Structures are given as C-alpha cells and as structure tokens.
Amino acid sequence: MNSLFKQLLRYGFVGGAAFALDFSTLTFCREVLHWGTIYAATTGFVVGLILNYVLCLHFVFSKNNADKHPLEFIIFASVGVAGLFINDLVIYGLAEAGVDYKTGKLVATAAVFFFNFFGRRYLLFSENSNVLNWLSSFFRKSDLPET
C-alpha cells in the first residue's frame, strides 16, 4: 500500500473522530444553546480542528518538526481557516436553499476533508515542503530589529 493511500486512510479515521466532535458540538450549540447555525458550525469546526491537529501529529503524518510546533500549528490552522470558510459557505448556501443544517454539514465535510488533507500534506508534511523552514528563518529573533 503506497504512502499517500495510507496517509489518506489514517486521515479518514482522524477526520472521523474530529468530525464526530465537530458535529456533536454543532448540534449541542444549535439545539441546546440555541446559537445561530454559523456560530454553532464555526465553534464545532474549531473544536474539531484542535483534535484533528493533535491526532494528525501522532497518527497520520510522520514528519517530525517538534521544534517548530507553534509555526506548524499556525499553518495547519490557516489551512483549517480556509476549510472553515468553505464549510460555512456550503452550510449557509444549502440552508438558504432550504436544506437542513445537518445535511449541509455532511456535504461541507466531504469538500473540506479533501481540501484540508491535500493542503496540509503539501504545505507541512511533504518531502518538498520548505514552508516551515522559510517561516522559521523569517521569524528568527536575530532577524528582528533591535529596540
């Protein structure tokens, strides 16, 4: 089994766990707390994003950048924010068309799953990615002006 397929399969399991937490949070915020759909969806997405990051580091992508975790999380979360935009746009668009928010969430999840996997794999965890090295050198203390 090739590496990409293994990663995609593992990402599917991790994504499933993150989705379960995301969807549960969305439903709780919407049904129990009576939040608006987009606020509830965004909250669920962020909670799922954090779980997804932690699980991806341990179970999906093997590249170890322990010294760069803060920058890695910023990039990981940035891809997630782009995914959040897609998520909310799909849910909103389908809700406006009369589709239940839960069904909209399922459709959005499929689109965001592939966007996030390939975005994160390319930017953070591929052999050819230099994004972390570039950001690390960009933010080195020696590069900042003295005050």
DSSP-derived 3-state class of residue 54: helix
Per residue of the chain (147 residues), give pLDDT as tens.
678 888 889 989 998 999 999 999 999 999 999 999 989 988 998 899 899 888 988 888 765 554 556 777 888 889 988 998 998 899 999 999 999 988 998 999 899 989 988 888 888 776 666 666 666 666 665 555 555
Task: Estimate to the nearest angstrom the gap between the alpha carbon of 118 and the chain centroid.
Answer: 11
* Any domain includes 142: no
* Any domain includes 117: yes
pLDDT score for 47: 94
* Any domain includes 146: no
* Any domain includes 82: yes
The total domain count for the chain is 1
Distance CA 22, CA 130 (A): 31
**Which residue range is the domain that position 9 belongs to?**
3-137
pLDDT score for 86: 94
* Any domain includes 36: yes
| Other Cβ atoms closer than 10 A to 18 | 26
Which residues are within 8 A (CB) of 66 and not within 5 positions of it... i.e. 6 or more apart? none
* Any domain includes 23: yes
DSSP-derived 3-state class of residue 2: coil
pLDDT score for 72: 79
* Any domain includes 59: yes
* Any domain includes 144: no
Measured between its terminal Cα atoms, the distance across the chain in Å is 54
pLDDT score for 103: 94
